[in-house]
Structure 1
Amino acid sequence: MKFPALLALSVILFFSCAACSLPFGDDPAPSELSILSWNVQNLFDDVSDGGEYEEFDPAEGTWTSAMFQKRLDRIGEIFDDVLESYPDIVLLQEIENLHALQILGEDILKDRYPWLILFEEEDMSVHTAVLSSVPVTSTARLETGYWGRVRLRPIQEIHFDLNGREMILFNNHWKSRSGGSAATEEGRISAAEVLVSRIRSIVRDNPDALILAGGDFNENHDEYKKNGRAYRTALIPVIEDVPEEWSGSLYLCSDGRDAISTEMRLVLYSPWFDSSRAGTYVYKSQWNKIDHFFLWKSLFDGRDYDFAEFDVIRDVPLLNEYNYPARWDSYSEEGYSDHLPILLKIQNNDI
């Protein structure tokens, strides 16, 4: 069943919170928060709704309840056996619908996340989703426009309550590079312009807002350099000398204290500048750093919450014999995802 976005949200919140005790309450704000982002590679349920990719359509006879359950179990295995602990907030990409998210949250992750958020779109086969043990106070869906006739995936905007301190998180899944990086770049630029405009608006009113953007951006943090500076990209290192009219791109710095918002540029911190990890996704035997967290300067000011750690989860179950991501293969019914998860931690300096 398809629900309008706000109704779908209220239904999933009711289902997920009905039997849960909510976190925090009168307790002190947590000393550390962990946030995981993972493109799980097409998690489709076992119900044929008409919008599935052929490989995952039960009506085609190639996708079964047993295979769906195996996908769920594989995700659960990573949470139970690979991660040191369950993250406080989880950003997911490529979830089919609310039904798939609810089963994942309730049956596999055992109701550890009272808040499950996904806005179903009639014209999209997969969606972004958020699972949270941190109280959610409000949500919004940011439309990112079209690439040609193709409607681009909206960005999820989620507001959290850290015992009186608001945190704003954006879950992204930008246009893929299928069809060529240069040919599809306008789709990613369109999403960047929406994200940049929204963050500028927030920090204009509240420069101290805790803001993070995460997800699958389908673009390296240094994509402009990688393409030989041949064309504009959605993500650009702030050190690059580029035309002023490219102000809608998202600029990235290697020191969080240098993050800034002006009419000409929004600059956020990218942990990839300080990471030794090879990447999260492999294409033609080359690692790519296309899964990201971007942070506003308030997470580097020494007050309340500050950036603490960033890492790529690359334990053996997630890697194949070539040490590349062990992507899910429906024919062999093996694998996990073609992306590796990334994990961000922030610490409360006041505790």
Structure 2
Amino acid sequence: MPFSFFKKKTSKDLYTIAFYNLENLFDPENNARTLDEDFTPEGFKRWTPKKYRKKLSKLAKTIHGIGRPANTYPPVIIGVAEVENNSVLKNLIQTHPLEAVDYNFVHFDSPDERGIDTGLIYHQKYFKVLTSEAIPLFVDNPDGVRDTTRDILYVCGLLNGEKIHLFVNHWPSRRDGSESTEYKRITAAQVVKVKMGEIAAEEENPNFIVMGDFNDDPSSKSIQTLLEQTELHNPMESLHVPRSRGSASYKKIWSLFDQIILSHRFYRYEKGSHSFDTANIFDQEFLKELKGKYKGSPFRTFAGRKYLGGYSDHFPVYIILKYNK
């Protein structure tokens, strides 16, 4: 069930903020500067323009619907992960039905060797970008070699006139083991906290929203490190107890790596501000495997080299904010 703080309001004053790991949104072109050869027509994945367009269509449909039926309007802010470049984000927001929404985006190329980055899509009618930057995440592998991982995207802007500081994250993976890579994600949490501290030193009572694929669950040490000695609250923690739901599934075990964490200030009522209403996982049936041993899991684009033609290996997550007039 959705975690809700306020009673349900009329939809015209509700604003959905989402995060979605898009599972390798690559264009079919070969970029000589990144390891994207698998996602070309001749590559391992046999990634053709037709498959690319099909994925864009599925993702656009999903993004447009995030937050329904609790909110009838498409999200005003969507953090995304695993996007290759500016072009794929431009193609995405120009794909039906998103092309009818006044979306723009923020993106920076990161040092990730595969070329997958984070980005922020926003509805220009409701959100105005004031400043943005890519915050480097410097972590080394156990052998001392630098892990060329994703930057943390920071965007400061005005949502209906209220100033909000957003962080879009895709923390280092567990590919080499959750315990042996834990220190990398703890470092990422500390980097976010340092930036938050710098903002708090210059601005009284700032509003923070920290979203992303953290590659850790709400109870993990990295997430708890992020919350320690801050004014942050994780409304998604209650969605993962018991582990009957999640945003991704591995060996039939649900994880909630995708989360949206926000300041306690969103839990107050003040005219001209936004108050927390709902947090949930957008796990509609059309996004799921409908049969077989993975029934109920996210309907992904690929399983290894096998093309399935699905959406993503993650479900989107979202919060809904109520604007207090």
Shared fold by TM > 0.5? yes
Match of residue 64 from structure 1: 48
Match of residue 146 from structure 1: 139
| Contact 2:67–2:318, Cα closer than 8 Å, also in 1 | no
CA distance in 1, matches of 2:65, 2:203: 40
Match of residue 257 from structure 1: none
Match of residue 298 from structure 2: 325
CA distance in 2, matches of 1:128, 1:155: 8
Q: What is the number of residues matched between the two proteins?
A: 288
Root-mean-square deviation (CA, aligned residues, Å) is 2.1
Match of residue 119 from structure 2: 129
Are positions 1:344 and 2:308 aligned together? no
Q: Indicate how the Cα distance of structure 1 residues 175 and 113 shifts in structure 2: closer, same or farther if over 3 A, else same.
A: farther
| Contact 2:111–2:148, Cα closer than 8 Å, also in 1 | no
Quick one: which amino acid aligns to residue 328 of structure 1? T
Are positions 1:55 and 2:32 aligned together? no
Q: Indicate how the Cα distance of structure 1 residues 273 and 331 shifts in structure 2: closer, same or farther if over 3 A, else same.
A: closer
| Contact 1:32–1:346, Cα closer than 8 Å, also in 2 | yes
Are positions 1:96 and 2:95 aligned together? no
| TM-score, structure 2 as length reference | 0.82
Quick one: which amino acid aligns to residue 146 of structure 1? V
Aligned with 1:266: secondary structure? coil
Match of residue 267 from structure 2: 300
Structure having greater relative contact order (Cα 8 Å, sep ≥ 6): 2
CA distance in 2, matches of 1:173, 1:123: 11
1:160 Cα offset (Å): 1.4
Aligned with 2:179: secondary structure? helix
- After the TM superposition, which residues 193-232 of structure 1 pair with which residues of structure 2 at under 5 Å, given as runs? 193-223=190-220
Are positions 1:250 and 2:248 aligned together? no
Are positions 1:79 and 2:79 aligned together? no
Aligned with 1:183: secondary structure? coil
Tell me which moved more, 290-299 or 201-210. Answer: 201-210
Quick one: which amino acid aligns to residue 55 of structure 2? R
Are positions 1:118 and 2:102 aligned together? no
1:286 Cα offset (Å): 0.6
CA distance in 2, matches of 1:52, 1:318: 28
Aligned with 1:209: secondary structure? coil
Quick one: which amino acid aligns to residue 248 of structure 2? Y
Q: Indicate how the Cα distance of structure 1 residues 298 and 326 shifts in structure 2: closer, same or farther if over 3 A, else same.
A: same
Q: Indicate how the Cα distance of structure 1 residues 219 and 47 shifts in structure 2: closer, same or farther if over 3 A, else same.
A: same
| Contact 2:28–2:41, Cα closer than 8 Å, also in 1 | yes
Aligned with 1:298: secondary structure? helix
1:156 Cα offset (Å): 0.8
Choose from 278, 281, 300 the match for 1:312. Answer: 281
1:56 Cα offset (Å): 1.2
Tell me which moved more, 116-125 or 50-59. Answer: 50-59
CA distance in 1, matches of 2:42, 2:150: 25
Q: Indicate how the Cα distance of structure 1 residues 196 and 81 shifts in structure 2: closer, same or farther if over 3 A, else same.
A: closer
1:190 Cα offset (Å): 1.4
TM superposition outliers: structure 1 runs of 4+ over 4 Å: 80-83
| Contact 2:16–2:67, Cα closer than 8 Å, also in 1 | no
Choose from 273, 277, 282 the match for 2:237. Answer: 273
Choose from 2, 27, 31 the match for 1:45. Answer: 27
1:139 Cα offset (Å): 0.6
| Contact 1:95–1:128, Cα closer than 8 Å, also in 2 | yes
1:296 Cα offset (Å): 1.0
1:199 Cα offset (Å): 1.2
Quick one: which amino acid aligns to residue 23 of structure 2? Q
1:287 Cα offset (Å): 0.4
| Contact 2:30–2:36, Cα closer than 8 Å, also in 1 | no
Tell me which moved more, 110-119 or 185-194. Answer: 110-119
Q: Indicate how the Cα distance of structure 1 residues 293 and 82 shifts in structure 2: closer, same or farther if over 3 A, else same.
A: closer
CA distance in 2, matches of 1:157, 1:325: 28
Runs (5+) with no aligned partner, structure 1: 1-29, 224-232, 237-248, 253-264
Runs (5+) with no aligned partner, structure 2: 1-11
| TM-score, structure 1 as length reference | 0.77
Tell me which moved more, 125-134 or 75-84. Answer: 75-84
Quick one: which amino acid aligns to residue 188 of structure 2? A
